[in-house]
Amino acid sequence: MAQTLSMQSRVGRSNQRYGSKGERLVAGIVPLSSDKNYVLLIQSTRRGGWVLPKGGWETDEATAQQAAQREAWEEAGIICKVTYDLGLIEEQRRLDQLSAQAPKAAYYFFEAIVEKQETQWPEQHKRSRQWMSYSQAAQALAGRPELLAALNRCTMHRQ
């Protein structure tokens, strides 16, 4: 990442990008260990449980990949090298799961190898992180079909 890493998380949605159907554009990372045996999940701040690092693609970011790498830093404290574009994953939540705080979204996910895991990062006070095997992560993400789809598209080892 060429930009300087900030210890401040971005907040609010004033710079949020939206798609042609009004959906919020979200960028995320599937962060893998160098041997691809483990994926790093972080604690969700809204619902508890485990999620992949992800968040809004903002208007000052040229690419979804830049946004995904920023989110990985802010939420998980990791610096990673993107290895694959996992493509677009359409919203998979039911209508009753959508709200003003969690509107309809389109997800752009990238697979990445974690190059550095810092001890201090912007959201360390509200998120923990944990390395998991594929089966542990698949179970943890079972209630989030869009995140499970990203995990299933990645090239990690599924032992």
* pLDDT of the residue at 47: 76
pLDDT confidence tier of residue 91, bands split at 50, 70 and 90:
confident
Neighbouring C-beta atoms of residue 143, cutoff 10 Å:
14
Which residue, among 62, 86, 82, 85, has the nearest Cα to 73 in the 3D structure? 82
* pLDDT of the residue at 84: 96
Distance (Å, whole) CA 89 – CA 35: 25
Which domains, from first to last, does the chain contain?
24-153 (3.90.79.10)
Q: What tokens were used for 155?
A: 């090239």
Q: What tokens were used for 110?
A: 């990238």
pLDDT confidence tier of residue 2, bands split at 50, 70 and 90:
very low
Question: Side chain identity at 135, as an amino acid letter?
Answer: S
Q: Classify residue 29 by burial, with Cβ atoms within 10 Å: 0-12, 13-18, 19+.
A: buried
pTM: 0.87
Reduced to 3 states, what is the DSSP secondary structure of residue 21? coil
